[in-house]
Structure 1
Amino acid sequence: MIAAIEIILEHDTAGDPITGLKWTRKTTEKIAELLQQIDIPVSANTVSRLLYQMDFSLRVNRKQIATNSSPYRDQQFQNISSLRSRFQRQGLPIISVDSKKRELIGNFKNTGAKWDRSPVPVNDHDFLSDASGVGISYGIYDPPNNRGTVCVGISHDTPAFAAHSIATWWKREGSRRHGHAPKLLVLADSGGSNGCSSWAWKTEIQAQLCNPFGITATVAHYPTGASKWNPIEHRLFSEISKHWAAEPLVSYEKMLGFIRNTSTKTGLVVTAYLDRKQYPTGLKPDRQLISSLDLKPGKVLPRWNYHCAQSVKLILRLRLAASDLRPASLARLLKPTERGRHSAKLGESPYTTWLLRGTGRPRKRIIGYWGTATLVD
């Protein structure tokens, strides 16, 4: 049997010249299947033991060196566990959110390995100039129901994009599955587009989720350096990565197809859609806008825990601002200007009118994107 395995692995074996350890890309299930084809009935577990006898070893990178660990790390984990138990006991929705690394759309190498008769030729360098676009995946995972939604953006991973993805999930699926739940628990990392110290993130959650739908979002951030504990990382993103391993993402359609077809034996269901809107970077909230937020710090570790509810004060302020706009000013904003870096396509969002009120010129410090309006920087 060992001789037969050696023949099967003849062209799929690598090794370390220093330690003498060997490894293969073929899985034990595949080797067992090939052995059964030549009338050698054997299980995958038996193949695993035989590979160990043949000096083969599983080779992975191990992330075990902890850096900059917070002294409140364990306390926050306990708090998150308590929040999850309470929300689940009360039948309230829980989501885990995060963004996946940017993918180049085109004939580029994708990490991983797959079964094939010959390697797939791809570009020898990953140059952005050779890509037809970029795919930025922002995921929303529902742990109690084992369901995931991925929004693939074509622009930038910004707080506005993150909040828009969550709001779209709530509109399309969350509200239908959970009815008119008054509260929502959001589990997020401490950095990135949904960082705990980002006022833009907090303002966007208020503007795009809490105000339109009248829901209170309880946000709990995992401590710095603990993103791997976020459920979406190992229950959704890892499965997507395995599904498109070694597959060049040559188009958005192919990328969306891989995400939608991701499934597991435990019943994971994933939906995906493409967001073609543009999200400018470097935009910050106005002080008056921040002061209008209905943001309450949590009783435990308020840096990582807070509650965001519908702000009547903000809604009234925005509606009053909308009535002060002059039509001529809006008309000028619809046309690109020489000094403007972003063109304005104005919808009927009150947040847009608040930021552009008065003189018809864009304010210097603005939050960014709401609804269908891409604001002038």
Structure 2
Amino acid sequence: MSSVNQDASLFKRILGALDEGQRRWLVGREALRLGRGGIQRMLEVSGLSKPTILKGIKELHSRRALGGDGNRIRRRGGGRKPIEEHDPEVTDLLEQIMEESTVGDPMSPLKWSSKSSYQIQQYLESKGHRISEDTIQRRLRKLDYSLQANIKDKEGTSHAERDRQFRYLNETAKRFLAEGEPVISVDTKKKERVGEFKNPGRKWRKKGEAPRVQIHDFSSLGKGMAIPYGAYDVYRNEGMVNVGMTHDTAEFAVESIRRWWRVFGRRHYAAARQVFICADSGGSNGSRNRAWKYYLQRFSDETGLNVVVGHYPPGTSKWNKIEHRMFSFISMNWKGEPLVSFETVVNLISATTTRRGLRVKAVLDKRWYETGVKISDEQMKDLNIRPHNQNPEWNYSISPRGN
């Protein structure tokens, strides 16, 4: 390395091709070769710090550079500690950000966000947390988020009030949770054919023990359709699924909520005065469904609860908590398992759990639910319903009559 003094740039290029251990050993060797003033010269040429150069010299003297711990460059436990160790608050804040902007495919355990890693980084830095985009992405992967490309699954036209509605739902949920009041996310899961039909997916079994199912998927060969309607407790990470056998109606939806209240709600929230229900804008619990509001009024009268409802904007059902907190794991739990009977459906749903402690209870609802039930104008006038100032078509409260 006699050319070091003449061509410092060449020396730097050589250093750039080495790992950190090799760099400090080479620089240490050159410092020793140069003798007096060698360390100072290497400080100027290499860009390494004095402690690093001295460490390289020490390792050369102790022969550690010539053998030792395999290909290890740093000592065990060396290197920068993960940010969650010296700034644990950043993980909680990151989860909070994602909770407010999470989308989930109900058939997959992965989630994704409407925010970019750059936006998340800027927000965290505004709160006093220094963090790189790479670290954000690493933490998100540990939280089961994935990086998603565009996909042909457009959820309809964005409503002008969509973002405001999401913020309103989030603020309302936070307020209820802070006051110890229940917050539930509700929806109907995809209907499932019951019988000896093939269920997509695979499970580990002994060779030759795969279940035999019907060659044809004709409905006439089955036992009917299972209609799982779920109510998910956001705070307790606990859900109730009412499995219907007839029709997905507003009466069925409210009966499912009633069953959640009887099994979980009144036990865990004995002092509750109100409940916040987050629901999609369409279907049996739609914002324009008169029967939905009519049966919620009856539920309110029976329980004495003030029922506060917030609907997700049209076309944004994937933001519903129940989709990626509960339904996705139910789908994963029964993949590859023929749903041969209604009892099988109930048992598989009830057996669903996650590493984060999700608990689900399922019951079979054998009642017959009529379709096409009409609620008259007079019946609507009798409801004790109060639209909110913020997006009144999506947000309203139903109080017990007589209050």
Question: Normalised by the shorter chain, which TM-score bucket?
Answer: 0.5 to 0.7
- What is the TM-score with the length of structure 2 in the denominator? 0.61
Cα deviation per residue 1:58-104 (whole Å; 9 max; x = unaligned)? Answer: 99994553422211110110101111111111111000000011111
- Structure 2: distance between partners of 1:115 and 1:224: 40
Aligned residue in 2 for 1:148: 239
- Structure 2: distance between partners of 1:312 and 1:290: 16
Task: Provide structure 2 residue ranges, at least 5 long, that are not aligned to the other structure.
Answer: 1-146
Structure 1 position 178 matched with structure 2 position 275: no
Aligned residue in 2 for 1:227: 317
Structure 1 position 87 matched with structure 2 position 87: no
- How far did 1:111 drift? 2.2
- How far did 1:110 drift? 1.4
Runs of 4+ in 1 over 6 A off after TM superposition: 58-61
Cα deviation per residue 1:95-119 (whole Å; 9 max; x = unaligned)? Answer: 0000011111101121222223355
Task: Provide structure 1 residue ranges, at least 5 long, that are not aligned to the other structure.
Answer: 1-57, 314-377
Aligned residue in 2 for 1:102: 191
Aligned residue in 1 for 2:342: 252
Aligned residue in 2 for 1:283: 373
Letter in 2 for 1:190: S
Structure 1 position 132 matched with structure 2 position 223: yes
8 Å CA contact 2:156, 2:314 repeated in 1: no
- How far did 1:221 drift? 0.5
Letter in 1 for 2:248: D
Against the structure 1 CA distance between its residues 293 and 265, is the aligned structure 2 distance closer, same or farther, given a 3 Å change threshold? same
- Structure 1: distance between partners of 2:369 and 2:155: 34
Alignment of 1:144-223 (within 5 A): 144-207=235-298, 209-223=299-313
Aligned residues: 255
Cα deviation per residue 1:290-335 (whole Å; 9 max; x = unaligned)? Answer: 110001001100111000111139xxxxxxxxxxxxxxxxxxxxxx
- Structure 2: distance between partners of 1:60 and 1:149: 33
Against the structure 1 CA distance between its residues 60 and 148, is the aligned structure 2 distance closer, same or farther, given a 3 Å change threshold? farther
Aligned residue in 2 for 1:28: none
Cα deviation per residue 1:341-370 (whole Å; 9 max; x = unaligned)? Answer: xxxxxxxxxxxxxxxxxxxxxxxxxxxxxx
- Structure 2: distance between partners of 1:287 and 1:102: 32
Letter in 2 for 1:232: I
Letter in 1 for 2:238: R
Aligned residue in 2 for 1:35: none
Report the aligned-residue RMSD.
1.9
Aligned residue in 1 for 2:93: none
Cα deviation per residue 1:165-199 (whole Å; 9 max; x = unaligned)? Answer: 10121122101110131110000001110000101
Against the structure 1 CA distance between its residues 203 and 224, is the aligned structure 2 distance closer, same or farther, given a 3 Å change threshold? same
- How far did 1:123 drift? 2.0
Letter in 2 for 1:219: V
Q: In the alignment, which of 393, 397, 401 is matched to residue 303 of structure 1?
A: 393
Against the structure 1 CA distance between its residues 87 and 106, is the aligned structure 2 distance closer, same or farther, given a 3 Å change threshold? same
3-state SS of 1:145 partner: coil
8 Å CA contact 2:202, 2:336 repeated in 1: yes
3-state SS of 1:141 partner: strand
- What is the TM-score with the length of structure 1 in the denominator? 0.65
- How far did 1:134 drift? 1.7
Cα deviation per residue 1:239-284 (whole Å; 9 max; x = unaligned)? Answer: 0000000111001111111111100010011111111000010111
Larger radius of gyration: 2
- How far did 1:286 drift? 2.3
8 Å CA contact 2:155, 2:316 repeated in 1: no
